[in-house]
Amino acid sequence: MTTILAIETSCDETAVAVVQNRQVLAEAVASQIAQHQVYGGVVPEIASRQHLEVINVLLQQVQTATGLSWGELDAIAVTCAPGLVGALNIGLAAAKTLAILYQQPLVGIHHLEGHICAAYLTDPHLQPPFLCLLVSGGHTSLVAVREGQTYHPLGQTRDDAVGEAFDKVARLLGLGYPGGPAIDRLAPSGNPQAFALPEGKISLPGGGVHPYDMSFSGLKTAVRRLVEKIPPPLPVADVAASFQYTVVQALTRRAMRCALDQGLTTLVVAGGVAANRELRQTITATATQQGIRVIIPPMKYCTDNAAMIGCAGVIRLKQGQGSPLHLTSQSRMML
Ligand code: KG4
Ligand code: ZN
């Protein structure tokens, strides 16, 4: 049994969890949505201050819930990249302090590796190889996860991340922050066929279309033009539904093509946008028809959380990949 305390502070959720192998023993999350909502997006300075205010409270809660002393752990895992540097530094400072006090190994985790590893919490028997459609606020890609938990990028967005597109379109429609959940809630009351929107395609130099790469900035611009063109009142639910339909089709098509081409029979969908109900339904139905097994973590493990970081920490610790105490945060880092 490997028991890990995990800390995640890369953006606007402060999260702490204790994970034992692939099981969550205790977890606590403090969302900062209310603090950022008035500004229409995440304000980095406010994020850092808020993490600092709540992190000790969450650590205490999780410790009480498990009844463990931090000296009984096997390691402390912490998100070190990518993300807001000031926000990451709060988690890193807490993790390093505890590592020194309780003489625990420190394991720095890539945030996106955490999102992928959320699948192991969902299916304790899951093993590579599998394909992961990684869809978050800052990242959109198709990654083959192979033996030894190695990552092989196969396709990606060439411009906006899909979560970013949800957030920007929600702002255009006056739905506020965070935009993804707002569109998810509104879209079922609209007509997804009301407006034909362009599914961004990437042309190849020799002709044809890149099979796995994606683009979402053209779609966002098309929604902006539509909003400017339609005389009021704006059919907000129809625009939201049409946008969401186009995105879900684009993601589902790329993921299916990639899985079939690569001979990967398991598809994991991970990251904040994997919480989207239409994406979950459509991709599950389509993949199942093609004989592909789909694993999508429950909503709380799609958006940012510490359990996924703990799960990644268990894997890295077992591989002997600890981090030095001078581990630093990085705003950008390849997976
Ligand atoms: O993974 P995540 O929590 O943070 C990052 O690592 O970026 O993803 C946040 C993104 C935001 O863009 C948010 O709007 C989007 O995930 N999101 C959703 C939904 N819930 C969160 N997008 C569509 N539908 C949702 N239900
Ligand atoms: Zn995330």
From the alpha carbon of 137, which atom of ligand 1 is closest?
Answer: 7
pLDDT on residue 69: 97
- The pLDDT of residue 131 is 98
Residue 331 lies in a domain: no
pLDDT value at position 256?
A: 98
Cα(225) to centroid of ligand 1, in Å?
A: 24
CATH code of 14's domain: 3.30.420.40
Judge whether 334 lies within some domain.
no
Identify whether residues 277 and 311 lie together within a single domain: no
pLDDT for residue 182:
98
In a shared domain, residues 105 and 200 = no
pLDDT of res. 39: 93
Tell me, yes or no, whether 280 lies in a domain.
yes
Same-domain status, 42 and 156: no
pLDDT attached to residue 203: 92
> 158 and 88 in one domain?
no
Within 10 angstroms of residue 319's Cβ, the number of other Cβ atoms is 11
- Counting the structural domains of the chain, the total is 2
The answer to whether residues 100 and 191 belong to one domain is no
Binding residues for Fe cation, by number, are: 111, 115, 304
Residues with CB under 5 A from ligand 2 (ion): 136, 304
Residue 312 is assigned to a structural domain of this protein? yes
Together in a domain, 46 and 92: yes
Domain match, 278 and 313 both: no
73 part of a folded domain:
yes
For ligand 1, say whether the CB of 83 is within 6 Å of any of its atoms. no
The whole domain housing 84 covers 3-116+303-318
Q: Name the residue with the closest Cα to ligand 1, atom 21.
A: 272
Same domain, yes or no, for 308 and 172? no
Any ligand 1 atom below 6 A from CB of 304: yes
Decide if the complex's ipTM is over 0.90: yes
Q: Which residues of the chain have pLDDT under 70?
A: none
Residue 227 and residue 247 in one domain: yes
Are residues 111 and 217 located together in one domain of the fold? Answer: no
Amino acid 261: pLDDT: 98
